Structure 1
Amino acid sequence: MGTETETSMEELLIPHDVIEHHIMKRLDVKTLLKFKSVSKQWRSTTRTPSFKEKQLIHHGSQSQPRDPLVLLVSLYAPSAHQPDPRFEAMRTLVVQSSLSVQIPTPWEDKTYDVCNTSCDGLICLYEFFRLPSIVVNPTTRWHRTIPRCNYQLVAAENRERDEWFEVPYPSPGFGKDKSSGTYKHVWLYNSAELGLNDQATTCEVFDFGATNAWRYLVPSSPHLILHTQAPVYVDGSLHWFTAFSQEGETMVLSMDLHTETFQVVTKAPFLHVSDEFKIVMCNLKGRLCVSEEKWPNQVIWSLDDSDHKTWKKMFSIDLTITSSLFPWHIKALAPLAVLDKDKLLFYNRESRVALVTHDPKTKSYDFAYTSKLAACGGVCYFPSLVSIL
């Protein structure tokens, strides 16, 4: 490609702003990371927040976006007394090609869970007691730690005194205020149920904006949530399932990350659910989706993005077939992504990780990827240069 001096002379013939707007932003992230060595100006440009956003918007607005990558995060680390050379903290894979790459991390001896959804190519790892959360860009390897919130500190103290709660652990969410561009880490939990205070719920928000600190959101959610379900980020909002009412009803609770207010999403076909482990929420193609297992099928409903009032059937998984792929499972199978516009990618969260694709046209099911790891959390993401200052 020539020396840096030669490249700089070439750039004299083409203004850099033209190169940036008409060439650089059209390149994929992998190519841009390689081209950072072309010149100091190119390297400087790729580090600016404005260019990162332009590149992300350009690739996200393409008429035929590529399939997302899948990040697998190991949920169990080997003990120091029994090290396992096969252990991997994170692995990313291109499902259609079965190409996968191990991602080196500085926390190889620690175990994290992963938030349900990614945001702008960033994923959020968390741990309930001992460790701060981490926001990671798996493409660039950038990462940043988040201090523990008050819930985690109290939980750690109770655990040390063997006074841990006899209830499921709540999971946090991670997303973006689309109006201000500020990223937020949110921990919503049934505080009275956990014995923390008299409030029905408590919401703690870490704002990556001016404060860079945890704060309590007042008022918090007026509805209790299902602690067994992780929140899902879609288009500027986080979503939870509400706890079962006396009538056995559950609904979707939405938190707008800009206004930081809560509202219940319109009633849905899965209103009456007998088992909280038989429903799962997800983000498919940028839409809020809910999957409900009712033998012999697991139906996936999508909230229509035109009016946010209508739920439409998106897929149906034949459990009589998948039971042979996954010999046993208690929880509903977890949808991950839509591939090739109409194929569903999903996996069983309870067994050795195997990703399966379902083609509704041919009604076929095929293994897309299998892992030797005992248990992993899966999350889809699109490569980006984004980091949080």
Structure 2
Amino acid sequence: MEESLMKLSKFEGQLPHDLVFKILERLSFKSMLKAKSVCKQWRDVVSDPSFIEAHLSKSYSLGRIRYIHGAPMMKSVGLDDQETRYEHTIPTTEFSRYVEILGSCNGLILLGDGDRSYFLWNPSTRLLRSFTGRFLFRGEFRHFALGYDSTTRAYKVVRIVRVHSHKVYDRFKAPSYEKSVYDVTSAHVYSCKTNSWKKIEHFPYVIFEDAQGVTMNGYPHWIVFWDHFVEYKDKVIVVIVYFDLVEEKFKELPKPSWLVESSSYSFGSFEGKLCFIHYTTVRQREIREIWVMEKHGESWINVSSKINIKRVILRGWSSGHPYANYSREKPFIGAQYVESLVSPYAGNDMAG
């Protein structure tokens, strides 16, 4: 590859810009970094925000996806070639052993460390950006996600936190000493463009465990419950919600007919579509069904007869990890990401 790049470099200034653009955007990330140092023309192309966006799109279409895990010493593996393992070197002195992987979007990883420290990190370029958030108490239920607002060209962090306590009765004291129930859920969004947090006023849902959002088309998605104590009394209603980063509002999606409180499933994405793995038992034998939403906002389709379950799990499966019946994995231990040049330090377009 290096020899081929050097031969092409002899044509510097002779090759049309559009042709150079098309050639470079198809290169793997490592080859492209080498190409960047070949000549000034190529360096200028690779540094152009429009090229960074085009390369990002090409990386998605070519399936250049990796899975990263193992905080604070991160390791990643390529989903196309699981033999290509390597460790990422990051400034570990800035992290405690409590650092978590909270989400990812367009090659950027969202990390959380401690009570209010957050980081945007590109594991491909090794660039790291820090910011702070509101204090987070240990033991709170948390939903996190990183998304992209294409209208303002800004990355945004969504944080949903529930603080609650149960009634405690002391049989040695009068009823007037009964401790009251405290149950408050708050949602905030952080804009990387403005470097500021904003509270989302309306969140009529209940979360029961930690969850990493499933980001599709830049929007993070979760499985939650209606605030049944207010709206439905004793009923528990399962809801699929996503956060519209443009309007900065939570919206609901249709759900599969089988999705109820007692359902057993994993929720995530596969090949650019929202996806469920539904676990059922028939005659003491576990059955796993694959359900996908072909177009965002439309109905769910059972594609079990068309897609091998092993293909979904082993290649391209990216899941959020909330409730005990929601997924069989723990949240915040890993995330998928695409190799990209997107910079956490970038300007208005957050691209280069």
Query: TM-score, with normalisation over the residues of structure 2?
Result: 0.73
Q: 1:302 aligns with which of 292, 307, 310?
A: 292
Q: 1:312 aligns with which of 297, 301, 306?
A: 301
- The corresponding residue for 1:174 is 146
- The corresponding residue for 2:40 is 40
CA distance in 1, matches of 2:54, 2:337: 17
Residues 158-198 of structure 1, C-alpha deviations (whole Å, 9 max, x = no match): xxxxxx55xx531311011123321101102235779xx98
Q: 1:280 aligns with which of 260, 266, 269?
A: 266
Q: Does residue 248 of structure 2 align to residue 260 of structure 1?
A: yes
Q: Does structure 2 retain, via aligned residues, the 8 Å contact 1:284–1:336?
A: no
CA distance in 1, matches of 2:277, 2:38: 47
- The corresponding residue for 2:118 is 133
Q: 1:201 aligns with which of 154, 162, 185?
A: 185
Q: 2:198 aligns with which of 208, 215, 224?
A: 215
CA distance in 2, matches of 1:193, 1:215: 25
SS at match of 2:158: strand
CA distance in 2, matches of 1:175, 1:190: 21
CA-CA distance at 1:224 after TM superposition: 2.4
Residues 288-309 of structure 1, C-alpha deviations (whole Å, 9 max, x = no match): 223343342343422221x623
Q: What's the RMSD between the two structures over aligned residues?
A: 3.6
Show the 5 A alignment for 1:12-161: 12-15=13-16, 17-60=17-60, 62=61, 65-66=62-63, 68-74=65-71, 89-95=73-79, 96-107=81-92, 110-111=96-97, 112-116=99-103, 118-127=104-113, 129-130=114-115, 132-147=117-132, 149-152=133-136, 155=137
Q: Does structure 1 retain, via aligned residues, the 8 Å contact 2:13–2:41?
A: no
Residues 283-339 of structure 1, C-alpha deviations (whole Å, 9 max, x = no match): 21111223343342343422221x6231122459xxxxx9xxxxxxxxxxxx76645
The answer to which structure has the higher strand fraction is 2
* Alignment-mate amino acid for residue 216 of structure 1: K
Residue 285 to residue 226, structure 1, CA distance change in 2 (3 Å): farther
Residue 229 to residue 314, structure 1, CA distance change in 2 (3 Å): farther
Relative contact order (C-alpha < 8 Å, sep 6+): which is higher? 2
CA distance in 2, matches of 1:224, 1:170: 11
- The corresponding residue for 1:236 is 218
Residues 329-365 of structure 1, C-alpha deviations (whole Å, 9 max, x = no match): xxxxxx76645xxxx699x99xxxxxxxxxxxxxxxx
Residues 243-267 of structure 1, C-alpha deviations (whole Å, 9 max, x = no match): 3643233111111111111122113
- Structure 1, 118-127 or 104-113: larger mean CA deviation: 104-113
* Alignment-mate amino acid for residue 190 of structure 1: R
* Alignment-mate amino acid for residue 195 of structure 2: N
Give unpaired runs (5+ residues) of structure 1.
78-88, 156-163, 317-321, 323-334, 350-374
SS at match of 1:387: coil
Show the 5 A alignment for 1:337-376: 338=315
CA-CA distance at 1:103 after TM superposition: 0.7
SS at match of 1:172: strand
Give unpaired runs (5+ residues) of structure 2.
167-180, 229-233, 323-330, 347-352
Residue 193 to residue 288, structure 1, CA distance change in 2 (3 Å): farther
CA distance in 2, matches of 1:382, 1:190: 31
Q: 2:162 aligns with which of 177, 187, 190?
A: 190
Q: Does structure 1 retain, via aligned residues, the 8 Å contact 2:144–2:157?
A: yes
- Structure 1, 284-293 or 134-143: larger mean CA deviation: 284-293
SS at match of 1:31: helix
SS at match of 1:23: helix
Query: TM-score, with normalisation over the residues of structure 1?
Result: 0.67
Q: Does structure 2 retain, via aligned residues, the 8 Å contact 1:7–1:38?
A: no
* Alignment-mate amino acid for residue 34 of structure 1: K
